[in-house]
A and B are shown apart, each in its own frame.
Chain A
């Protein structure tokens, strides 16, 4: 599948380094994104029972995201790289600000209120962490030395710990994934990977002790949802019923009983995958997965074609992180993974994540569109 999309991507972009009148747009990337968002809106329409306000807000978010996409696409990788440390420091500063006087919403400190808009500084870090790692390795020799790995470890873990303390374990893990993938792409040897893997595993008990009770409860519930049918187990039980009852072809659009009789919690956000599974069945899910894979494949192709270390690492890490979002959300809703609050990218309603994702894809478009002809 991904190889096919690689070829297709090459064909589609040949001769279009810069689009009309010098504006950089990566059409394959943009088309796949629009297809996913359109499919998402169809499912969302069903999930919110035609509550048009929510649908309209999702459309608005996509519009804002598109603006972010186009703006990022015009900033050449050279400038992206120069801005990187400042973006990273700004992100860390905002995280500290949230920790100090952030507004407490829903028992967790995640939001920063800027009067007009509230946003989660942790969103910035989803981009800033891989950028910073790529920036750090840009002029250094690959693969990184042990000392360089340690520095990158700090670049990743500092914001991750701040976010985990909020507490937002899901986002913290995603930030670690984004940074970790950059480091992996930088080419660390198998031996070093093993050493870090062992360290990571031995850190698990420590992580367990540091976790909040509700986070531990989620793990327990994941292992055995039937023990807690009134609490967190409810979500998993209901979402597996929704997915399973969808079958091969699904119950049809707007015909999902689990979602329409409101058995399914958080239908429009974290559990929208289950709504889709119930109404469009395995075939519908496969279509969605194919679109996701095409997007990831296009991203990896852009990474492979990129001309400097910063661009390569950033493009590769952003594409793979996107896949991690998809896998974690789909895995959690289908009962493969414990419940962590990760939305289904480009489909789930809400939040700043739509804007962040599209800004990231804007960077990919920029990396591809600003290549120097000479190198090809």
Chain B
């Protein structure tokens, strides 16, 4: 303020200036008030008749018309998800006098689940007053019960609506997912206007991933309602709002082949486990099964709280998608991938022989790394080590390669990262390395990489973790000799009105070009040996197949067996027993299907998982009209 003291302040001149401003301001205030009054006169005097008619006598209500949700097909046009007519109980919040009392009365009639009371109340309150909110699905009988008492419930109504229906019930639940009532949380992530008339939204799987395509665009019309809000009829265009028809959602074509999917479901029906089948030529997921499963129809028609709690509390975790989110040590299924990498780095010659006495020690250490099954393989080369799954050979191979090359080789096949499947819920799994330990352990002494950890990574134990879809995807890459695709469930969309189909190009990933054709051939030959040579771990299971299978068994340990003990299945609780893996593709020379199979707590892969794989292969090759997707 010191700076301005030099200026001369003239109070009289300033007051005159200020007064003129105040007068100018007062004039502007009066002018603006005049504008306001003119507008009000316009609305209240000149347009009074029109607005009076709009508000008095008959009243108009904007009625949203929800679009029909798109249908989901498998690759051969079989319906996986469709819409069926159904009775729904709906509420219009602004017409209900006492929400709690109304809900209680409906609960007494058995039309609304009492456990849902608070949820429904919040749901109605979080919608705009004129929006119709679905309370429950009704059977024919319940609809009749309500119909005779309808006059008692202002603001509650029954309407015929389309409900989602999944004809295959449990069989595709983990791939297709389900729709459920729009929750308050869902309202946050959607365009509320577009969902004004919609009661359900995709909650998981394809239903969620392709929600936008499946849903469509809302339409609206203006209805004439009486003072209680009952609909009298549809208003004509003179009311000022042009009706707009809804645009139905797109139909969606999936890569799944229900023949293969059902075969896999049947093969797994007595087990906990997962099967993923992928076409190595384009990444199409032909089957995606997680067992046990659940019936998505129960979610679509409204699951009671008690039922939902029962589902989540089930010890077999039916809601858990083992195919995408189940992480298991891969066991010996990593051996082909490790062998290929070792050959590339010339860590070993293919004809290098090792004597297997049933166990191995790191030079200078006492800890014995044992043969998984406790067997003694004698003299084996790399081919035999894969065929007979010799751990001692791979202990030494891993040490010879070093952990860095080993983990880089595995990562190249997509282990340690989500495969990028087009539905949510994938886990990354783990490919351990010294760098990974540094990142994931906070204490310095835990960050040290021990040589023994390299040894057990060589047979897919220790920190390493994979998901069934990762293993299937890696098998597909192996089958295509390095050509990689992102696994995908969506292969095309169909316009619901014109029935015009547009197919989606497969999503190619950068291929693996580090390996020579001879090395690919060498390892694939060994994998064929697994199912066809004496001593092969899947020989018995694959006896008599009419196609050539390249595969590898694996066993994922659930518990560690002490140094001096033996793994005896009969001594171990069922849920502590080993998981069985089988990874395979066929036909070996021109593969059209690659598989990853896990069967939980059922013992080694040759015994548990390979039989499942065989049933899936049989179904695949039996279906002579198998169609490859053509983009």
Using a CB–CB distance below 8 Å, which chain A residues touch chain B?
Answer: 1-2, 139-143, 181, 184-185, 187, 226, 228-231, 234, 237, 240-248, 257-258, 261-263, 265, 277-278, 281-282, 285-286, 289, 293, 296-297, 300, 303-304, 309, 312, 316, 320, 323, 327, 330-331, 334-336
User: Does B305 make an interface contact (CB < 8 A)?
Assistant: no
In whole Å, how far is B58's beta carbon from the nearest beta carbon of chain A? 11
Q: Is the CB of A282 within 8 A of B18?
A: no
Contacting residue for A265 out of B1, B14, B95, B129, CB 8 A: B129
Count A-B contacts at CB 8 Å.
155
- Are A243 and B62 in contact, CB atoms less than 8 angstroms apart? no
Give the distance to chain A from B616, nearest Cβ to Cβ, in Å: 48
Q: Which residues of B lie under 8 Å from residue A185 when comparing CB positions?
A: 18, 21-22, 25
- B63 → chain A, closest Cβ, in Å? 9
CB distance from B23 to the nearest CB of A (A): 9
Known: A244-B47, A289-B37. 7 other contacts (CB 8 A): A140-B1, A244-B48, A245-B51, A245-B56, A296-B29, A303-B22, A327-B32
Cross-interface CB contact of B29 among A140, A231, A323, cutoff 8 Å: A323
B54 x A293 contact (CB < 8 A): no
User: Are A187 and B17 neighbours in the complex by a CB distance under 8 Å?
Assistant: yes
A contact face: mostly helix, strand, loop, or mixed: helix
Q: Is the CB of A141 within 8 A of B21?
A: no
Inter-subunit contact B45/A248 (CB<8 Å): yes
- Whether the Cβ atoms of A300 and B62 lie closer than 8 Å is no
Complex: A265 Cα to B93 Cα, angstroms = 13
Contact A262 B43 (CB under 8 A): no
Whole-angstrom distance between the Cβ of A108 and the nearest chain B Cβ: 13
CB distance from B49 to the nearest CB of A (A): 9
Shortest distance in angstroms between B14's beta carbon and chain A's nearest beta carbon? Answer: 5
Given A185-B21, A230-B193, also A334-B51 (CB < 8 A): no
Bound-state Cα–Cα, A228 to B47, Å:
22
B1-56 contacts to A (CB < 8 Å): 1, 4-5, 7-10, 14, 17-19, 21-22, 25-26, 29-30, 32-33, 35-37, 39-41, 43-45, 47-48, 50-52, 54-56
* Contact across chains for A2 and B21 when beta carbons are under 8 A apart: no
Task: Tell yes or no: B220 within 8 A of A by CB.
Answer: yes
Q: Assess whether B184 is interfacial by the CB under 8 Å rule.
A: no
CB distance from A317 to the nearest CB of B (A): 10
Assuming the contacts A293-B33, A300-B25, asked whether A142 and B56 have C-beta atoms less than 8 A apart, the reply is no
Q: Given A142-B14, A316-B21, does the pair A261, B227 have CB atoms closer than 8 Å?
A: yes
Minimum Cβ distance to chain A for residue B630 (Å):
40
Cβ distance B106 to chain A, nearest Cβ, rounded Å = 21
- Please indicate the chain B residues that have their CB under 8 angstroms from the CB of A241 in the complex: 51, 54-55
A285 to B227, CA, bound (A): 27
Instruction: Determine if B40 and A243 form an interchain contact, defined as CB atoms under 8 angstroms apart.
Output: yes
- List the B side residues contacting A181 at CB < 8 Å: 25
Contact, CB under 8 Å: B240 / A226: yes
Across the two chains, which residue of chain A brings its CB closest to B3? A140
Q: Which chain B residues lie closer than 8 Å to A335 at the CB level?
A: 39, 43
Pick from B26, B54, B193: contact of A300, CB under 8 Å: B26
In the complex, which residue of chain A has the Cβ closest to the Cβ of B52? A245
Closest to B2 in A: A139
Bound complex: CA A259 to CA B323 (Å)? 55
With CB as the reference atom, state the residue of chain A lying closest to B47: A244
For A316, the chain B residues whose CB sits under 8 A away are 18, 21-22, 25
Q: How far is the CA of A215 from the CA of B55 in the complex (A)?
A: 29
| Chain A residue contacts of B44, Cβ below 8 A | 243-244, 246-248, 277, 281-282
Q: A143 CA to B160 CA in the complex, in Å?
A: 72
In the complex, whether B121 has a CB less than 8 A from a CB of chain A is no
Contact call B52/A247, Cβ cutoff below 8 A:
yes
Q: Would you call B218 an interface residue if the criterion is a C-beta within 8 Å of the partner chain's C-beta atoms?
A: yes
Residues on the A chain within 8 Å of B51, using CB: 240-241, 243-245
Whose C-beta in chain B lies nearest to the C-beta of A185? B21
B196 CB-CB contact with A under 8 Å? yes
Assess whether A286 is in contact with B45, with CB atoms less than 8 Å apart: no
Contacts of A187 in B (CB 8 A): 14, 17-18, 21
Q: Contact between A230 and B196 (Cβ–Cβ < 8 Å)?
A: yes
Question: In this assembly, does B59 line the interface, its C-beta being within 8 Å of a C-beta of chain A?
Answer: yes
Say how far B467's CB is from chain A's closest CB, in angstroms.
35
Task: Tell me the complex Cα distance, A243–B33, Å.
Answer: 17
Distance in angstroms from B92 CB to nearest chain A CB is 10
Query: Complex Cα distance A229/B43, Å?
Result: 20
Q: CB-CB < 8 A to B14: which residues of A? A: 141-142, 187, 309
A–B Cβ pairs within 8 angstroms, 16 of them: A142-B18, A187-B17, A244-B44, A244-B51, A244-B55, A245-B55, A261-B229, A265-B129, A282-B44, A293-B29, A300-B25, A300-B26, A316-B21, A327-B36, A334-B36, A334-B40
- Residue pair B48, A141 in contact (C-beta under 8 Å): no
Residue of A nearest to B244 (CB): A229
Nearest CB in chain B: distance from A239 CB, A: 10
Given contacts A187-B21, A312-B18, contact A141 B36 (CB under 8 A): no
State how many residues of chain B have any CB contact under 8 Å with chain A: 55
Interface-central residue, A229, A240, A304, A335, by most chain B CB under 10 Å: A229
Chain A residues positioned under 8 Å from B41 (CB to CB)? 282
Residues of A with C-beta under 8 A to B240: 226, 237
User: In the assembled complex, how far is the CB of residue A80 from the closest CB belonging to chain B, in whole angstroms?
Assistant: 17
Instruction: Rank and list the top 9 A-B pairs by shortest CB-CB distance, nearest first.
Output: A244-B51, A245-B55, A262-B94, A231-B193, A244-B43, A141-B7, A245-B51, A140-B4, A282-B44
With both chains docked as a complex, state the minimum distance between the C-beta of B223 and any C-beta of chain A, in angstroms: 12
Determine the chain B residues whose CB is within 8 A of the CB of A139 once the complex forms: 1, 4-5, 9
| Residue of B whose beta carbon sits closest to that of A330 | B36
Instruction: Assess whether B373 is interfacial by the CB under 8 Å rule.
Output: no
Chain B nearest CB from A277 CB (Å) reads: 7
Distance of A256 from chain B, by nearest CB (Å): 9
CA gap between A28 and B431 in the complex, in Å = 80
Query: Which chain B residue shows the least CB distance to A1?
Result: B30
The answer to whether the Cβ of B372 comes within 8 Å of any Cβ in the partner chain is no
User: Chain B residues near A296 (CB, 8 Å)?
Assistant: 29
Q: How far is the CB of A285 from chain B (nearest CB, A)?
A: 6
B235 to chain A, nearest CB (A): 12
Query: How far, in angstroms, from A316 to B10 measured CA to CA in the complex?
Result: 20
- Type the 1/0 row for B555-570, where 1 means its CB is closer than 8 Å to any CB of A: 0000000000000000
Give the distance in Å from the alpha carbon of A140 to the alpha carbon of B14 in the complex. Answer: 11
Tell whether, in the assembled complex, residue B39 and residue A336 are in contact, meaning their CB atoms are under 8 Å apart.
yes
- The answer to whether B128 has its CB under 8 Å from any CB of chain A is yes
Q: State the Cβ distance, B498 to closest chain A Cβ, in Å.
A: 26
Which residue in chain A gives the minimum CB-CB distance to B61? A263
- Tell me if B43 and A2 are in contact (CB < 8 A): no
How many Å lie between the Cα of A296 and that of B55 in the bound state?
34
Asked whether, in the complex, the Cβ of B25 is within 8 Å of the Cβ of A277, the reply is no
A267–chain B nearest beta-carbon distance, Å: 10
Q: Is the CB of B55 within 8 A of A230?
A: no
Whole-angstrom distance between the alpha carbons of A194 and B40 in the complex?
31
B19 touches A304 (CB 8 A): yes
Known contacts A244-B47, A245-B52; decide if A286 and B37 are in contact (CB<8 Å): yes
A330 proximity list for chain B (CB < 8 A): 36
Whether B104 is near chain A, meaning CB under 8 Å from some CB there, is: no
Is A320 a contact of B94 with CB atoms below 8 Å?
no
Q: B241 on the interface (CB 8 Å rule)?
A: yes
Q: What residues of A have a CB within 8 angstroms of the CB of B229 in the complex?
A: 261
| Complex alpha-carbon distance, A69 and B41, angstroms | 35
Cβ of B367 within 8 Å of any chain A Cβ, yes or no, is no
Give bound CA distance, A245 to B50, whole Å: 8
**With A and B bound together, what is the CA distance between A113 and B238 in angstroms?**
50
CA distance A243 to B218 in the complex (A): 29
Residues of B within 8 A of A312 (CB): 18
CA distance A336 to B52 in the complex (A): 20
Tell me the minimal C-beta distance from A269 to chain B in angstroms: 15
Closest Cβ of chain A: how far from B461's Cβ, in Å? 46
With contact pairs A142-B17, A230-B62, A300-B22 given, residues A245 and B241 touching in the complex (Cβ less than 8 Å): no
A245 vs B8: C-alpha distance when bound (angstroms): 59
Query: Of A228, A230, A246, A248, which is in contact with the most chain B CB atoms at under 10 Å from its CB?
Result: A230
Q: How far is the CA of A261 from the CA of B95 in the complex (A)?
A: 7
Cβ of B192 under 8 Å from chain A: yes
